[in-house]
Amino acid sequence: MKRKLLALTAIGMSFAPLAASAQQQSSVTLYGVIDSAVTYQTNANRAGNSVVGLQQGGEGFLSGSRLGFKGEEALGGDLKAGFVLENGFVVDTGGLDQQKQLFGRQAFVKVGNKYGELALGRQYTTANTMAYYVDPLGVGAAPSNSWFVYLTGQRYDNALSYTGNFGRLNVIAEYAFGEVAGHGSQRSSMSVGMKYDAGPIVAIGDLQQTHDSQSRAARIYMTGLKSSLGNANLFLNYIHSDRDAGFDSTNGGIDTSSITSMSTPVTSSSAAAINSVFASSRKDDFVAAGATYAVSPAVLLTAAAMGNRTSAQNFSGTRWTTYAVADYAFSKRTDVYLALAYDRVSGDWSGMFANSTFNYVGGTGQKLNGNNSQTSAMLGVRHRF
């Protein structure tokens, strides 16, 4: 009996280093963000009444709430594999965000080595990824600070991407399959984004094209800068968008593309909005400038202004937004903030806020019947884990 016990002990000890090695080479992490805010908003209906509640468009001001899982495994040499599954949810009701998809924020598997990484699945668009580096909030969450993503789109379905790091240069090339039999271009998207990090200066560029189910195209050209000066960071970015007549990427509709969040969903406060379908070809020119300043390790101030001009046949309209945020960090995980935002539209976008037009088509001469401005104030708390 003693000999058997000794033999079993020896065998167990021989496998222990292998088990420890396997544990060191693979990992799975649970992470998340919860951002919720008490919100006051003017012109919440056609009568111009105000409303008090939680969230703005189901979001906090700084971050979209999420719950995610990510893992990585070493496969030998410098080859490794991994995955990301990230769910988005709205705190005010506990419901699913992102078109009610279970893992609507991200869902992909990846494999890579020192030469780069390939990923397959639902992923951020290159434009959204590059905007993160040159936006004061790293692309905010609420409609009043992130409406520009309806020009670029936020995520690709059915995407294959390559990410490579070459010294200071980061490159992402992405292709989203349309998956329409016999029609390779329909619903497909392709893009390339680049970031150059030169220490205090970060520069980005992005080119993107997506097709709807009728092969009508939307093209994005984007550039931006971030500059660090002591406790301050300065941000500047520019987006030019060209859309073919009738381009439509409406979420959940029959005329969808592989790119999501290029259309503003109809809500009680926004029926026709910045991304309404246009009967003619359409051009948009968006510019944003902002800054952050760290008063102390715990206090961060942010201010920005952004505007967009939309031009089409028989249509010319502008939208402007200014916002400011005072953020106090209790710890690395928990912070509280006060955010103020003011939105204003003019020209043919007049009447965009809280209008009741659900089938608006830009350039037809049909006028919106809502309000021209909207002010929002949000007192929020964010916790990261």
Q: What is the per-residue pLDDT across 276-308, written as a single tens digit (0 to 9) for each? A: 888 899 999 999 999 999 999 999 999 999 999
- C-alpha 367: how far from chain center: 30
Distance CA(103)–CA(225), nearest Å, equals 31
Q: What is the pLDDT of residues 187-197, one digit of tens each?
A: 999 999 999 99
CATH number of residue 263's parent domain = 2.40.160.10
Question: Does a structural domain hold residue 68?
Answer: yes
Residue 3 lies in a domain: no
Residue 254 within a domain: yes
| CA distance linking residue 287 with residue 223, whole number of Å | 10
Q: Please answer whether residues 181 and 145 qualify as being in contact, where contact means their C-beta atoms are separated by less than 8 angstroms.
A: no
The answer to the question of residue 60 being in a domain is yes
DSSP 257: -
Nearest-angstrom CA–CA distance, 162 and 247 = 27
d(CA 123, CA 135): 19
Q: Residue 181: beta bridge partners?
A: none
Residue 12 lies in a domain: no
**Do the domain assignments include residue 314?**
yes
Any domain includes 20: no
Residue 2 lies in a domain: no
Using CA atoms, how far apart are residues 237 and 133, in angstroms rounded to an integer?
10
Residue 1 has pLDDT above 60, yes or no: no
Structure confidence at residue 366 (pLDDT): 80
Could you give the number of structural domains in the chain? 1
Higher per-residue confidence, 55 vs 16: 55
| Mean pLDDT in residue range 269-279 | 75
Task: Give the chain's mean pLDDT.
Answer: 90
- Does residue 225 have a pLDDT over 70? yes
Confidence of residue 268 (pLDDT cuts 50, 70, 90): low
Could you tell me the residue range of the domain that residue 242 belongs to?
28-384
